[in-house]
Structure 1
Amino acid sequence: EKVPEKLIVIGGGVIGLELGSVFSRLGSKVQVVEFLDRLIPGMDFSLAKEVQRFLKKQGLEFFLNHTVQSTVVEGDSVKVVAKNKKDKEVEFSGDYCLVAVGRRPFTDNLGLEKIALTLDDKGRIPVNEHLETAVPGIYAIGDVVAGDMLAHKAEEEGVFVAETIAGQKPHINYKAIPGVLYTWPEAAGVGFTEDELKAENYNYKTGNFPFKALGRARASMDTEGFAKVLADKDTDEILGIHLVGARAADLIAEAVVALEYRASAEDIARMSHAHPTYAEAIKEAMLDASEKRSIHM
């Protein structure tokens, strides 16, 4: 009915940041309390740092490494008590508290037990590589099975099942399904993150290009952000692309094509990109990954 003066958001993931950003723009003072030492844990760490930086400029406050101990409604306000990494209690007070600490599958009361379907320890329906359940002829897709809870992932799985039933040979590359953060500027990523490559001791290289060096970004006065490319150091195959900035949600589609067809950084670097566009950031990042040949840096 009205915009809260103060909003406490528990959880620094996609949902918490998106809704926190909306209320901040509407005029609320927003405080984000996060258990981990970073935001948006599923995305590349470089994006997390940049997102935190520009949201902080927009007025949001962040409290990382804070473990929520209790939430209490007191009249027209809510009190949240958390402990920081020094084990010191910190108290937050606001008009409302938004709890955004994750989602779970909606599999309760579906009558699955009537067909002898059991759930895993996270409430999901186990499926095989064809998305078929333990009951032959019954399939499950989307948020009730393992994987990211994304509408476009569920759509791909729905098509996959339909084609399987039709006797075709469908395909899903889960590493080529993008994730998007709808703040402004936006953030998006697909493929491996740099932390994932480090964990696997992968021999990789990076390419980066800042939006502030883009003619389109400067003309539109949306210069926050960058494009980042991760590629195999030996073969030049693109392993991951991560974007933060204006229209990142739209730009990530080019990155998906590159990963799906196993393009190299040089492949994309040699393709003409219209000028002036935000998409030029991807080309320039590819040039940077290809022996540091970026033209406009």
Structure 2
Amino acid sequence: MESYDVLVIGGGPAGYVAAIRAAQLGFKVACVDAFERDGKPSLGGTCLNVGCIPSKAMLDSSEKFEMIRTEAHEHGIRVGEATVDLGTMLARKAGVVDKLTGGIAYLFKKNKVTPYHGVGQLVRQDEGGWVVNAGGTEVVARHVILATGSNPRELPIAPFGGNVVENSGALAFEQVPARLGVIGAGVIGLELGSVWRRLGAQVTVLEAMPGFLMAADDAVSKEALKHFKKQGLDFHFGVNITAVENGQGGVTVRYEENGEAKVAEFDKLIVSVGRVPNTQGLGAEAVGLQLDERGFIKVDSHYRTNLPGIYAIGDVIGGAMLAHKAEEEGVALAEMLAGQAGHVNYSVIPWIIYTSPEIAWAGLTEKQAKEQGLDIKTGQFPFAANGRALGHGDPRGFVKIIADKQTDKLLGIHMVGGGVSELIGEAVVIMEFGGSAEDLARTIHAHPTLSEVVKEAAMAAALGSALHM
């Protein structure tokens, strides 16, 4: 029986990163993963195969199509009627995924991580550690890391199949649906709804919450909703879905809105109402692995489960279900196992929605800060006053800074606008080091760049006023 120092179950962002980092630190490492794409083993989990990466490829392709169709003339560019070759677009998406998943396989080989394909199952504990069934081959490891991720949450009245799909199905439509329904106005619903709206679908979003994007700062969610509605997305909030009829010709959704019964007909329906932990096949009950009431694996601050030598990270332990959060946990745990001080600062995790305009934030919202009794000050600056944004032809949105009124410590940053996914990082660095709004305001930013909007918002918060407003 092959023996390892570390065995990782799960090859997604948490698992493959933990495996690579552990190998870099001198451990003998293996990773078992069951994910398949097109009938072949494919590392990277949901994120690389059917989530983060392919969705961003489709978002970029669809945004280019819309730019050519609706905005090119503003730049003096005249083209004929733009059309969509969906097959080529999907093939490009697949090519991007192939490069990245193949890259992980290369990194495993480079770092001497042994891959096993199949379901990883905890079998028993013996003198050498934990015996694990790694896709049909029994191996033993001193440390076992559970990084099995999550699955889309299925509505009992709308099981996946036929014309009702989750994220992977919504990335593989063979033709653009004329009428697309989306249940859930969260990250996945907004991004995938945006893709197909740009490509020609009439999109209706049904959301159970009474308001839009309530996890974001109120000013940001209000601004974003204004632009999404202008684009043609049809939102309904406070909705109670009562029935879903999935037929060959389409989907009928019955729901209640403001006490009124309504019916909507769609060609396709995307259900994006969150994700649930994936512990199937782990053998959790047989070995006594403790789960919480929602099915997440219970861990302490060092990612230790109730079983000695068994650890868990990523989506399967709950918290922010984000690839970058999972990756950081993978690095931290590997370093802890090596006796180092691995650490994840959960208070400054950036959140990003890759719509148009993009939405990004980190730290506290203004509402959260006030609920905590903090005395705060804010600063805000619009992209409409930024030279680079005007040159891009995209002056939508703003950056908002929240800082402590007495100490000037940067507590939160909130953005909506073009390219803000690339701007959030510098504020996260400041927050990681406990820096102030003035630190951000007095940092030289190149001109002309979109990042100057961050600087101006920080100036407004720290110094009382921005320069260019």
- TM-score, normalised by the number of residues in structure 2: 0.62
Match among 358, 361, 369 for residue 197 of structure 1? 369
Match among 430, 452, 455 for residue 280 of structure 1? 452
Query: For residue 6 of structure 1, what is the aligned residue in structure 2?
Result: 179
SS across alignment from 1:3: coil
- Contact 1:273–1:283 at 8 Å: present in 2 too? yes
1:15 is aligned to 2:178: no
Stretch deviating more after TM superposition (208-217 or 196-205): 196-205
Stretch deviating more after TM superposition (113-122 or 13-22): 113-122
Query: For residue 235 of structure 1, what is the aligned residue in structure 2?
Result: 407
What aligned pairs does 1:61-140 form with structure 2 within 5 A after superposition? 61-85=234-258, 87-140=259-312
SS across alignment from 1:234: coil
Amino acid at match of 2:405: K
Query: For residue 41 of structure 1, what is the aligned residue in structure 2?
Result: 214
SS across alignment from 1:93: strand
Structure 2 CA distance for aligned equivalents of residues 195 and 114 of structure 1: 45
Structure 1 CA distance for aligned equivalents of residues 222 and 466 of structure 2: 23
Unmatched segments (≥5 aa) in structure 1: none
Change (3 A) 1:51 1:142: same
Structure 1 CA distance for aligned equivalents of residues 347 and 214 of structure 2: 16
- Contact 1:38–1:48 at 8 Å: present in 2 too? no
Query: For residue 176 of structure 1, what is the aligned residue in structure 2?
Result: 348
- Contact 1:13–1:41 at 8 Å: present in 2 too? no
**Shift in Å at residue 75 of structure 1?**
3.7
Stretch deviating more after TM superposition (57-66 or 3-12): 57-66
Match among 202, 205, 228 for residue 29 of structure 1? 202
What aligned pairs does 1:194-273 form with structure 2 within 5 A after superposition? 194-273=366-445
% same residue: 48
Stretch deviating more after TM superposition (115-124 or 237-246): 115-124
4+ residue stretches of structure 1 with deviation over 3 A? Answer: none
Query: For residue 324 of structure 2, what is the aligned residue in structure 1?
Result: 152
Count how many residue pairs are aligned between Structure 1 and Structure 2. 296
Amino acid at match of 2:417: G
**Shift in Å at residue 110 of structure 1?**
1.5
Greater gyration radius: 2
**Shift in Å at residue 292 of structure 1?**
2.2
- TM-score, normalised by the number of residues in structure 1: 0.97
**Shift in Å at residue 94 of structure 1?**
0.9
- Contact 2:290–2:305 at 8 Å: present in 1 too? no
| Root-mean-square deviation over aligned CA pairs | 1.1
Unmatched segments (≥5 aa) in structure 2: 1-173
